[in-house]
């Protein structure tokens, strides 16, 4: 008979979820553990408090509600390519008190390492059916960051685009300044703290080069700055960039392009 693969909530997991509904206490899922179940398949049961034989554990990286079923939560994590040399037949989800909340029977999978002649990232995804998905949340260890090859490729693309946009921006402004020996700065819309929320840079003929507007949040800690460049006619928008502003105490610590 073919093996059946599935994930179940443990008795502890059921009790915690049931208790969370009337009390409003959320379950913080933090850890994924995988094991080889000592070399053979077995059928997980609700009374288990741990997987049979752990070979690796890591932080959970994602918890999402299934888009087609609001009572299903999809839990994901990734085992990096640098880790391996073991077989996986079982997987467990643990909360921040190291309680086994759910356990799954996993299709036998070998996780290679470089000495095997190949490496790969392995993604573990488990789906749990709960009464109320809002009773479960992800508690992330801020010191653990895992970037997959796909993440890095996407980031590289964004960086290249960002650099291209900024080169275009700098060149546009420099050319405008070079073509016009003088330009003027206009500050308007001063708030109660004396902060000008709109700044415009205009050529000597009065046409706009650049406009910067602060918005969001409350003075003096605005959360957004919108920067708009204009073509030489001063009305046609060349490019618009929106930055998210963060603060430490009362000082701006970063502006991040959205």
What is the CATH code of the structural domain delimited by 149-257? 2.40.128
What is the CB-side half-sphere exposure of residue 175 using CA atoms within 13 A?
A: 10
For residue 234, count other CB atoms closer than 10 A to its CB.
13
| Domain edges within the chain | 7-138, 149-257
Nearest in space to 58 (alpha carbons), one of 140, 154, 116: 140
Angstrom distance (rounded) from CA 170 to CA 241: 13
Angstrom distance (rounded) from CA 83 to CA 3: 27
Give residue 138's pLDDT: 47
Give residue 3's pLDDT: 81
DSSP letter at 182 equals -
Enumerate the H helices of 111-148 as residue ranges.
none
Rounded to 5 degrees, what are φ and ψ at 223?
-105, -10
- Strand 86-95 and strand 27-35: the pairing is antiparallel
- Residue 234, phi-psi category: left (phi > 0), alpha (psi -120 to 50), beta (remainder): left
The total number of residues written for the chain in this structure: 258
pTM greater than the 0.85 cutoff: no
Give residue 114's pLDDT: 83
Give residue 186's pLDDT: 86
Spans in the chain with pLDDT lower than 70: 1, 131-183, 248-253
Give residue 36's pLDDT: 96
- Only one residue has tokens 């009374």, namely 47
Q: pLDDT of 53-99, one tens digit each? A: 999 999 988 888 888 887 788 888 888 888 999 999 999 999 999 99
Give residue 146's pLDDT: 47
Enumerate the H helices of the chain as residue ranges.
11-23, 149-179
Give residue 145's pLDDT: 44
Give residue 54's pLDDT: 96
């Amino acid at each position: 008979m073919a093996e059946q693969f599935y994930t179940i909530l443990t008795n502890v997991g059921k009790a915690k979820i049931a208790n969370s509904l009337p009390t409003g206490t959320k379950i913080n899922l933090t850890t994924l553990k995988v094991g080889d179940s000592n070399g053979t398949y077995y059928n997980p049961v609700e009374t288990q408090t741990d997987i049979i034989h752990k070979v690796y554990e890591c932080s959970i990286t994602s918890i999402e509600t299934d888009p087609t079923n609001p009572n299903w939560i999809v839990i994901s994590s990734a085992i990096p390519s640098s880790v391996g040399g073991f077989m996986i037949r079982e997987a467990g989800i643990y909360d921040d008190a190291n309680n086994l909340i759910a356990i799954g029977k996993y299709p036998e999978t070998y996780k290679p390492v470089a000495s095997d002649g190949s490496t790969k990232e392995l993604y573990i995804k488990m789906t749990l059916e709960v009464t109320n998905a809002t009773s479960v949340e992800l508690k992330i260890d801020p010191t653990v960051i895992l970037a997959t090859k796909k993440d890095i490729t996407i980031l590289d693309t964004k960086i290249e685009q960002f650099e291209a946009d900024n080169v275009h921006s700098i060149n546009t402004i420099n050319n405008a300044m070079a073509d016009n020996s003088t330009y003027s700065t206009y500050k308007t819309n001063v708030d109660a703290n004396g902060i000008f929320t709109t700044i415009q840079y205009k050529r000597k003929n009065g046409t706009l080069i650049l406009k910067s507007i602060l918005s969001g949040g409350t003075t003096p800690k605005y959360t957004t700055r919108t920067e708009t460049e204009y073509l030489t006619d001063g009305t046609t928008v060349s490019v618009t960039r929106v930055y998210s502003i963060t603060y430490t105490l009362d000082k701006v610590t970063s502006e991040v392009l959205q």
